[in-house]
Amino acid sequence: MKTNLTYDLTLQVVTPVHIGAGTDKKRIKGFDYFRDNDGNIKVYDINQLKAVDKETIDFITSKILPTDKNSNPIREILSNRKINISPLLSFKHTREPQEIFSHIRNGLYIPYIPGSSIKGAIRSAILGYLYQNNDEIKRLNLTKLDDEVFGDIENSIMRFLQVTDAYFKNEAIKLYDTKIYSLSSNYTGAWKHKRKGSQNRFDDKGFVSTYECIDIHQKSTFRINITEQIIKLLKNKKHRNTEKVIVPSNYTDPLKEIFRMINEQTQAYFDK
């Protein structure tokens, strides 16, 4: 079997994907964005504001530290004829949310899905597959199932799998309004609409959260590597399912076997 394996893969988004950038990266209405007369949510970077004189500096400062809670600092700053900056992002959206949960971006402000997230999804699918298809694994302690199957963090058989990030264009991002959908004791569902009430129809008012998401049908490329050094480690220090998960004796393409397990587990999940 080849032991230096590199796979270039394509990732396609099936449902909107959001990976948070952290609570400190939330966009706040008026400070980070506003909705213009054409219905566009325009996001600005306050760090782009370049003051050329003391008068402009004082003007910006007075707007960034407003005394009126209903003020809109970004809109008011941009009304100054001396200040000319382009929006960082622009979204077409039906409403102006109070805040927007931003999608993770790199230092160049490019949105992406981290390789660690892709690898985590692969890991979960494989674990689910092995649990469903192996009676011995079903008898293991569920609280330690991950370590029992894959090995602890220092010796995990998943170390063989190295996954790169998947990058997207800013145009791939769209705003989605979300609500909590709750099931009652008799398994009927409804959207949370107000503090003590729900309704059957989704409404973009009342308890709505807005997220930046990688939109449906968007595509990116990423890479999975299997290195010779890690393959050798696995052959010398085999764990419970090393042969089944990584180097099955009757396969020459371990990634094909991994995809088989992922697909079977995903289909079982949908059937359930």
SS (H, E, C) 222-261: EEEEECHHHHHHHHHCCCCCHHHHCCCCCCCCHHHHHHHH
pLDDT of the residue at 44: 87
Give the domain-ending residue among 79, 101, 123. Answer: 101
Query: Looking at the structure, do residues 161 and 141 belong to the same domain, yes or no?
Result: yes
Q: Is the pLDDT of residue 100 over 90?
A: yes
| Containing structural domain, residue 246 | 5-20+111-168+218-271
Residue 270 has pLDDT above 80, yes or no: yes
Same domain, 74 and 159: no
| 49 and 128 assigned to the same domain | no
Q: Which of 101, 121, 152 is the last residue of a domain?
A: 101
Is 125 found in the same domain as 63? no
Q: Give pTM, 2 decimals.
A: 0.82
- Does the structure show a pLDDT above 90 at 11? yes
pLDDT at 166 over 80: yes
Q: Residue 203: is its pLDDT beyond 90?
A: no
- 247 in the same domain as 126: yes
pLDDT band at 120; cut points 50, 70, 90: very high
Domain identity same for 136 and 34: no
> Total structural domains in the chain?
2
For 34-58, what is the mean pLDDT?
Answer: 79
Domain boundary residue among 72, 101, 130? 101
For the stretch 211-233, pLDDT in tens is 999 999 999 999 998 876 665 65
Looking at the structure, tell me whether residues 34 and 123 fall in a common domain: no
Q: Are residues 30 and 137 in the same domain?
A: no
pLDDT band for 244, please (50, 70, 90 cuts). Answer: low
Average pLDDT over residues 14-29: 90
- The span from the CA of 109 to the CA of 123, in Å, is 28
